[in-house]
Each structure stands twice: as structure tokens, then as C-alpha cells.
Chain A
């Protein structure tokens, strides 16, 4: 086993483990939980955008599908969440397959529009299907997660749950990226024609990575629903999809740590800058525009450039 890719995640896991020893305020723990929940989606979305080069403007819909499926099953049918969660994830995967097979045949702009339209349709249906989803007022009283007698009712318990799931999925994603599949995805990003000439089944890989990222988003939606215990269509509108894309772009498209970093930055910033409250749209738009135009590699790539320049500077000064 090569050590290089393993070390950062090992460090990160230790940091996650030790975090609550230093941060005890429930408020900060809640922020960390949200970072974890969003990082799950951006992890999958980054796989789709950064590695396979496809864009989805409808990932809020998968988040909503996950959250609503589990919420409806547990509140209406008293189902245990051990059953409702797999069903929710399968729902998301199934819908992603149905949407993905035809729309991933399309490229670039068409795919973006198809996923955008899909997201809007889901949003409209959540508002209009009052009998099933409770309409605009949403579903309240979603039960908290529970294993036997152990209820995930405090921030600290949920913190460990969310981040444990994240680390497992992160390692899985890392393995995918460093495998044959990851290289295939990157070849699709480079040129679909060249990739298929090299024997990569372009259509299959695209659908699979789309489904995987949809499942990540659905899982994150499930975690959100059972944490807040309330869900409404507002949590899954177009702006949320765009926020997710912004997170990936800010963190760094095509870098495994990019999604996490972007989710972290864009979850923490609004908490400390009250300016976000009123001008959130304008700020997100400006951040997205500036990042794409001047730093398309995101913060991670920016940090790498700064780091290598610093190293060079130190080496040069030592040489003199």
C-alpha cells in the first residue's frame, strides 16, 4: 500500500476524532455537522463535475428525494429507518438511472438544462403533491435515528455519525479515483471520442458516476431530514443546487479534497458574515464568477501553487 494517499485521510480522521474535545459548543458542532452533510454531496458532485466533466444543476432534487422518501416512510408508515434509508437510496439511484440514461447521451449544455429542468420538476411536484409531501408546509416530526436503545439525539453523537459516514465514503471515492474507473472518468473529461476509441464505455461510466453522486446526495438528504426532523420544499430549490456547484468550484473541481473544502468555506462564511443574510444570492454569484474566471482550480489548486512557490523560494534562498 502506498503511503502518500493514505496519510492525509489518516490525519483528517484523527482531527475529526479529536475535534469535539476542543469544540464543545453545540452551535459549533452543528456547523460541523452541516459541513459534513454538505461535504457528502459535494464529494459525489465533484466526482461527476471534476472527474467526469459532466455538470448537474439538479442535485438538490436528489437531496430532496432522499430526505422526503425517508421522511414519508418513517412518519406515514412507521417504518424503521434501517429499512427506509436503503429504500430512499434505491429511489434516488433508480431515478438517477431513469434521468441519467437519456440525458447523459447529451453533452454539455443540454445535460445542464436537462438536470436543471429535472430539479425544477421535482421542486414543483414537492409543492403540488400536498397529500404525499405536505406541500409547501413540508413534513414535521421526522423521528431521530436510533439503533436499539441508542438514539442519535445530541449534537456530538450526530457529529460522529455524519463524519464516520463521510470518511468511509471518502476512502471509497479515493479508491475509485485511483482505480481504472477513475482514470476512465478522467479520460471522458478530456475527450469522449478519444476515451471511447481507447475502449472506455463512455455512456456506462457516465451513468454510473451520475447514479453514485445521486446516492451520495440522497444519503446526505436523509441525514439532514433525521437531524433537523423537519423538511420542506424550500430546502431543495434551484438555489441549493447552485450553492452545491459553487461549493465544488470554490473548493476545487477535480481534486478529492475540493468538495470538503468548498463545503467548509461556504458553510462557515455565512455564519460569521451577516452580510450573507441579505445578499446571499449576489455574493454566491460573484464568488462563483470570480472563482471560475480567475481560479478555476479552486482553493485547493491555489494553495498548491502558493505552496510550491514558497518551497521554490526557500530552496533558492538556501542555495544562495
Chain B
């Protein structure tokens, strides 16, 4: 393989990974904007999405077209229940307590998945076959196009939702100022519940499209969450477009790093970026540092 086609190959791998990280990052942002919470269980929603999809389509035998929405619904319900039972009952919790709660939630999901589906890896057939497409000397699986397409669909739907629907506008109002939002009649509690439901749904979508490319197992969530968070921070926490761009940057960095530097350390590379961004410019490349100083943490 020539160097050029190798680069093209790495580029597409990077974009694929980046799309997944972007979706995880979008999930982080939605909850963060509505509540100021970083949901440590975000990666587990991705894992649950993949696992439930595998279970529905292989063990139960549903066709993918039906299993896809059912999985999203299931994970959305799990996310909403998590908010209702673990976050909602807390009266004025400190940041430390919130971190521990979402962390505990992630362990519960992980342990539950291990209990139900075991420790082994699970696989899902590709959506439309595994015949590779050759572009500029690089071979690309059709699933790559699915992932990129679904990311675009998710972004477009979110853009429509936040700009043109009443609930979406209410959520943006809450992000700016919850007190003021409640004064004009927005139910902040409902918005918080909905933000958890929405972000778990996006997590589930990421999990479903990602599973055919890699194998899914019960403990894949933590690393996905970390890299997704890395994208969210790099793009400026709470910034939707930033999350997508930064997700792509992290994905590309990882695939080129694995190709040209070392595959053993490829996971460490993204985390190193996270540390560097946190240390040098915690507001991210698209964030305004003055604005981030006003945030509570």
C-alpha cells in the first residue's frame, strides 16, 4: 500500500472513530448544559446501546429496522429512570456527590451488563454487508458511511430540535440561566429529565452503529466516555459544533497515532490530549475563557 493510500485509510478510520466520539461528546454537552453535571455514565449508554441491539437482533431475532428504534427506546428509558431515581431525589447536592452518583451509576450499568450478557465480546452484522469500497487506494467498509451518515443525521436533528422546537428552546434557556428559565414558566425539572433521556438516546445510537465495527463488551464504556469527554472539552464544554469538530480531531489523532507511532499507546494519546487541554486551555478551542470562569466549576 502506498503512503498516500495509507494516509487515506487512516483518515477514514479517524473520521469513523471521530464520529463516535462526537456523538458521545454531544451527549455530555446536553446534560452539562441542562444541569451542569458531567455524566460519568455517558460511556455506559453507548455500551448499553450496543449490547441491547446485539441482544434484540441476534438472541431475540428481530430485524434490524425494528431492533434499532427499540434499542434507542430501551436505553432512553434507562437514562430517564437513572435521572429520576438517582439525581432527582438529591436536594442541592455538591459537585463531589454528583460525581460519585454518576460514577456509581456507571458501575451499576457495567455490572448489570456483565451479569446479563457475560464477560465475552459480542458482535453485530454490518448494516449493509462487508464488501469494501475502494476510494483512492484505501478500502472502506460500508459501515463507515453509515456511521458518518448517522452522525450527520443526529447533528441535523439536534440543530432542528434546539432551534425550532419549544422544548429545545426551553432547554437552551435552562442552559443560560435555570432560575430565569423557571421564572418564565419552564419546568427545569422536566428539562433535566429530558436532557438525560436525550443524551442516553444519542449514546445508544452511537453504540448501535459502532458495534459492527468493533466488538462490544461490558467494560468498553469507560474509555469511550473518557475520549468523548476529551472531545467535549477540546471543543469547549457545552458547545455542539465544537464537540463534532473536536471529536473528529481526536479520532484522526488516534488513527494516525496508531498507524505511525504505536498502536499500544493509541488510547493513551487521546487521554494525553485531554490532560494537555485541561491544563493549558480548559475552555477548549471554541470556548471563551472568560465565560468558563463564570461557570460554577
Contacts and interface: CB of A to CB of B under 8 A. Distances in A.
A binds B: yes
Interface of A: 49, 53, 55, 57, 99, 102-103, 105-110, 112-114, 116-118, 120-121, 124-125, 127-128, 238, 242, 245, 249, 278-286, 288-289, 292-293, 296
A116 B297 CA distance: 17
Contacts of B100: 55, 245, 249, 288, 292
Interface in B250-297: 262, 264-265, 267-268, 271-272, 274-275, 278-279, 282, 296-297
B111 interface: yes
A64 B109 CA distance: 27
Nearest to A115: B275
Q: Please name the 4 residue pairs, one residue from A and one from B, whose CB atoms are nearest each other, closest first.
A: A282-B111, A281-B111, A285-B107, A285-B108
B268 A114 contact: no
Interface of B: 37-38, 40, 86, 89-90, 94-97, 99-101, 103-112, 114-115, 222-223, 226, 229-230, 233, 262, 264-265, 267-268, 271-272, 274-275, 278-279, 282, 296-297
A113 B101 contact: no
Nearest to B38: A109
B99 A102 contact: no
Nearest to A119: B271
Contacts of B275: 99, 102-103, 114, 117-118, 121
Contacts of B109: 285
Given A107-B95, A293-B86, A102 B279 contact: yes
Nearest to B39: A109
B267 A106 contact: no
Nearest to B272: A121
Interface centre among B114, B262, B268 (most CB of A within 10 A): B268
B103 A113 contact: no
Contacts of B105: 285, 289
B96 A113 contact: no
B96 A55 contact: yes
For the complex, would chain B's binding face be called helix, strand, loop or mixed by DSSP majority? helix
A249 B274 CA distance: 27
B226 A120 contact: yes
A53 B111 contact: no
Nearest to B276: A102
B101 A292 contact: yes
A120 B270 CA distance: 11
A286 B268 contact: no
A116 B100 CA distance: 13
B283 to A, nearest CB: 11
A113 B86 contact: no
Contact of B103 (A57, A103, A117): A57
A284 B99 CA distance: 15
Contacts of A118: 271, 275
B107 A112 contact: no
A106 B100 CA distance: 17
A293 B297 contact: no
A289 B97 CA distance: 10
B155 to A, nearest CB: 24
Given A103-B279, A108-B95, A113-B38, A121 B271 contact: yes
A233 B268 CA distance: 15
A283 B221 CA distance: 18
Interface centre among A107, A110, A125, A283 (most CB of B within 10 A): A110
Contacts of B296: 108
A187 B97 CA distance: 18
A124 B267 contact: yes
Nearest to B36: A109
B267 A120 contact: yes
Contacts of B107: 242, 281-282, 284-285, 288
A296 B268 contact: no
Interface centre among A53, A55, A109 (most CB of B within 10 A): A109
B278 A285 contact: no
Contacts of A55: 96, 99-100
Contacts of A293: 86, 89-90, 101
B265 A110 contact: no
Contacts of B106: 285
A279 B115 contact: yes
Given A107-B95, A283-B111, A284-B107, 15 more contacts: A49-B96, A103-B275, A103-B279, A105-B279, A108-B96, A109-B37, A109-B95, A112-B40, A113-B226, A114-B274, A117-B226, A281-B114, A285-B111, A286-B108, A288-B107
Nearest to B40: A112
A126 to B, nearest CB: 11
B226 A284 contact: no
A106 B281 CA distance: 11
Contacts of A112: 38, 40, 99, 103
Contacts of A279: 111, 115
B21 to A, nearest CB: 14
A128 B297 contact: no
B112 A282 contact: yes
A125 B100 CA distance: 26
Given A121-B272, A293-B101, A285 B110 contact: yes
A55 B103 CA distance: 12
Given A102-B279, A120-B226, A121-B271, A108 B99 contact: yes
